[in-house]
Structures are given as structure tokens and as C-alpha cells.
Chain A
């Protein structure tokens, strides 16, 4: 409607669609490197485009990676080897399809849209494991196993925390969820937010849970064998997953576009809230050491699960008390 396009095409092309994903990739990678550097009293990327604070560095890296040699190992199933990163990248972007970022700005509207987003989000590790399998390498194999174990740790708390919010709002409709938030979800049910956020960090393998691609242990885990474009696709997929996750978080817990009813202002509000949710996730890299897989599993199946169950109980109680 702004540039004469129907709003779903606009959503698919600009925000939260393709331009949003690519923009998030560039900005998040730059911001991560910059923030972590500043926490460690360094400058971070600087020499490419000094006046912009090295903002063009990720783009320079992308160009460099595109032009580096693409190696397809002979002992692998070469079709799957080349195809799975692409599948993974696209699959990571699927949850975005169901999330509304402004009134009318959703790629595909469904009355259970946000539930579908969570379900597609939780289906992704299958592609990652498939990718690791297709690479036929011991490090990718170990990485895949760790990914499966980690998925087992965060899956249930994530589902429960989102379920808590659905109970509270009584709907999974991407529009209705935002309209029902008279008070932001994070204030209504902080337990659910905490469980969701930790699960999100686990799901996107942010730092204390950066176990599948632990560099000193398994090179890059499931991404080990890839170079060039395939590396961008496979490794970028993780950031796409983060994008989908924080979008969902912004809509579920931070009231989405709530102060504004306008398309443009609403979208900008969601962008701001997405950034607000992303920055602590990026900072995690500078703050935490890495858990062992058993520690992460213990956390996932004890404290995190208890937190998520408590969140559901709190939601049920609030619903029964008629707060929401």
C-alpha cells in the first residue's frame, strides 16, 4: 500500500520478509562483533569503512566468501551436500511467514499463525542434522548429536512458555495476540518470558549454549565442511533463526506494534523491540563461558522446565482470575 504493493507482498519482500532477513544478517553480525569487542575493550571491525565504524565489514566478508572456492568433497552425496544448507536457510525463515509485524503486515495470515511459527521453528533441527549427516565428517556428526541433545533440552520449555502466553491471550492469531496485550506480555508473565528467552538462546546456540559448534572442540560442528556460499547459507541460517525467534518474542512479550496502529510506525516499533531483544543475545558471547552438553541438558530439564511449567501455571491462574 505504501509503494502500491499489496501488504502481503510488501511483508514478503521488505519486512519481515527478505529485506528484513538480509538486513538482520548484516546488522546482527556487525553488531555482535562490535559489541563483543567493546565489552572486551577492543574496537572490533573498523578498517573497512572507518567513518561508519566498520559497518561494511560483514558485507566485505560476504563478498570475500562468495568469491572463495566452493569445495564439494567427493565422498559425500554431493547433491545433498550442496542442497541442505539452502534448505536449512529457507527452513529457518519459514516461521517469519506467520508472524505479523504491523496491522496488516503479515506474509500469510492464519488464525493459529504464531503456533505454526513455533512448530516450524522446532522442526528446523531436523534439517540441521540432515545437513551434518550429508557432510559425512566426524565433527559434523558430533555437532549433530549435540544439536539433537540441545534440542531435547530447549524444545519443551520453549513450547510451554509460548503455550503460557497463548493461554493468557486465549488465541494464537498474530493480530489478536498483540491486541489482547493491554499490558505487555513480559509484565503479565515474566516467568514465561525468561523461559522463552533462555530457550531462544539455546535454540540459536548463543554463548553459554554454543555447544554444537564449539570451536575448540568440534571445529564448527555441523558447519565444519562448508566454505564459500554454502558457509554463508549454513552459518547465516543460525542468524535467520534468531531473527524469527526475536520477532516472535517481540510480538508475544513486548506488545508487537502496540503503541501504534499505523503500518509504518507499527513496523518501526517492532524493529526497535526486535533490536532490544537481540542486543542481550549478542552480548551473551562476551559474558558467558560455554556449558558442557550435560550441564545444558541438566539446566534444560530441571530449572528451565520448572520455570516453564510455573509460567503455564501462572498464566492459568491469571486467566482464572480474569486479569487478561
Chain B
């Protein structure tokens, strides 16, 4: 009998607590100060060593030739697992994580464009922690 009263008491206690559900995109979860978010590349520091490509476990990084005659990494975001190995492997620190975690695009073609890697093009359309 006491067990059943306890069960009801727990249910009533839970009833008046705040839901844990995050109502995305109206609410955003706080991921703390150092999330492994969307990765960007600072071309001025990049030495095209291709270490990031070699270390990538998901084979998400491919190098491509750009107008200045150098090769730069581009990430296939369909493959990237945001593990951060490339950032750790980068000898000059040109690759870095941003705070943007929720990466979504309007079209499937955008995500392969290497231009996405330049820091300036990575800006959230809604909120400050995601690329919607």
C-alpha cells in the first residue's frame, strides 16, 4: 500500500517539475565553453601539409586547388564526425573549431563547398550557436 502511495508521490513531484525537453529551435542547449563544433580553416596560416587529410578517421577531408595555386582542405560534412583529430594534428593551428554545433543546410549541395571552410562564411542565420 505504502509503495503505491510513494509511486503516486513521485508522479506528482515530477508533474510540477520543468520538462527536460529542449524545444529546438526556439530553445538552445548550452554546450559549455569548449564545444567541438564546425571546423574552419585560416588560409593565411595553412601550409597545405595534408596532415589533416591523413589523420581524418572518416575520410571527410579532401584537398582542392584554389586560385592562388595552393591546395586547401575542404570537409565533406556528410562524413565528418567532428572528432577534432584534424584540429589536433594541424601544425600551424590554422584549423580550429567554432562554437557552431547544429549544422544544417538548406540544400544538399552546399555542404561540400570548400568555401564553407573560410571563417567569415561560417555565421549563424538564427541564434549564435548554430548554422541554420
Binding site for B on A (CB under 8 A): 35, 37-43, 46, 280, 283, 286-288
Cross-chain contact B21 with A288 (CB below 8 angstroms): no
Which of B7, B8, B15, B20 counts the most A-chain CB atoms under 10 A from its CB?
B15
* B1-44 interface code vs A (CB 8 A; 1 in, 0 out): 00000011011001101111101000000000000000000000
**Interchain CB contact (< 8 A) of B21 among A35, A42, A280, A287:** A42
Cross-chain contact A38 with B21 (CB below 8 angstroms): no
Smallest distance from the beta carbon of B97 to chain A beta carbons, Å?
A: 31
When distances are taken between beta carbons in the complex, the residues of chain B under 8 Å from A286 are: 11
Give 24 CB contacts A-B under 8 Å. A35-B15, A37-B19, A38-B14, A38-B15, A39-B11, A39-B14, A39-B15, A40-B14, A41-B17, A41-B18, A41-B21, A42-B19, A43-B19, A43-B23, A46-B23, A280-B8, A283-B8, A283-B15, A286-B11, A287-B7, A287-B8, A287-B10, A287-B11, A288-B7
Cross-chain contact B8 with A41 (CB below 8 angstroms): no
Q: How many A-B residue pairs have CB under 8 A?
A: 32
When distances are taken between beta carbons in the complex, the residues of chain A under 8 Å from B7 are: 287-288
Using a Cβ–Cβ cut-off of 8 Å, how many residues does chain B contribute to the interface with A? 12
When distances are taken between beta carbons in the complex, the residues of chain B under 8 Å from A41 are: 14, 17-21
Tell me the bound Cα distance from A286 to B14 in angstroms.
10
6 A-B pairs with the lowest CB-CB distances in the bound complex, closest first = A41-B20, A39-B14, A39-B11, A287-B11, A287-B7, A38-B15
The closest CB in chain A to the CB of B14 belongs to: A39
The closest CB in chain B to the CB of A280 belongs to: B8
Tell me the bound Cα distance from A218 to B32 in angstroms.
46
The closest CB in chain B to the CB of A36 belongs to: B11
Tell me the bound Cα distance from A41 to B64 in angstroms.
48
When distances are taken between beta carbons in the complex, the residues of chain B under 8 Å from A38 are: 14-15, 19
When distances are taken between beta carbons in the complex, the residues of chain B under 8 Å from A43 are: 19, 21, 23
When distances are taken between beta carbons in the complex, the residues of chain A under 8 Å from B14 are: 38-41
When distances are taken between beta carbons in the complex, the residues of chain A under 8 Å from B17 are: 41
The closest CB in chain A to the CB of B1 belongs to: A194
The closest CB in chain B to the CB of A47 belongs to: B23
When distances are taken between beta carbons in the complex, the residues of chain B under 8 Å from A40 are: 14
When distances are taken between beta carbons in the complex, the residues of chain B under 8 Å from A35 are: 15
The closest CB in chain A to the CB of B20 belongs to: A41
Tell me the bound Cα distance from A286 to B10 in angstroms.
10
Smallest distance from the beta carbon of A51 to chain B beta carbons, Å?
A: 14
When distances are taken between beta carbons in the complex, the residues of chain B under 8 Å from A39 are: 11, 14-15
Smallest distance from the beta carbon of A209 to chain B beta carbons, Å?
A: 14
The closest CB in chain B to the CB of A40 belongs to: B14
When distances are taken between beta carbons in the complex, the residues of chain B under 8 Å from A42 are: 19-21
Tell me the bound Cα distance from A288 to B11 in angstroms.
10
Smallest distance from the beta carbon of A304 to chain B beta carbons, Å?
A: 13
Smallest distance from the beta carbon of A37 to chain B beta carbons, Å?
A: 8
The closest CB in chain B to the CB of A35 belongs to: B15
When distances are taken between beta carbons in the complex, the residues of chain A under 8 Å from B23 are: 43, 46
Tell me the bound Cα distance from A38 to B12 in angstroms.
9
* B38-69 interface code vs A (CB 8 A; 1 in, 0 out): 00000000000000000000000000000000
Smallest distance from the beta carbon of A278 to chain B beta carbons, Å?
A: 15
Smallest distance from the beta carbon of A232 to chain B beta carbons, Å?
A: 28
When distances are taken between beta carbons in the complex, the residues of chain B under 8 Å from A37 are: 19
- Having A38-B14, A42-B20, one finds 10 other A-B pairs with CB under 8 Å, namely A35-B15, A37-B19, A40-B14, A41-B19, A41-B20, A43-B19, A283-B15, A287-B7, A287-B8, A288-B7
When distances are taken between beta carbons in the complex, the residues of chain B under 8 Å from A287 are: 7-8, 10-11
Tell me the bound Cα distance from A256 to B18 in angstroms.
35
Which of A37, A46, A287 counts the most B-chain CB atoms under 10 A from its CB?
A287
When distances are taken between beta carbons in the complex, the residues of chain A under 8 Å from B15 are: 35, 38-39, 283
Which of A41, A43, A280 counts the most B-chain CB atoms under 10 A from its CB?
A41
Smallest distance from the beta carbon of A78 to chain B beta carbons, Å?
A: 43
When distances are taken between beta carbons in the complex, the residues of chain A under 8 Å from B8 are: 280, 283, 287
Tell me the bound Cα distance from A283 to B7 in angstroms.
11
Within 8 A of A (CB), among B61-95: none
The closest CB in chain B to the CB of A288 belongs to: B7
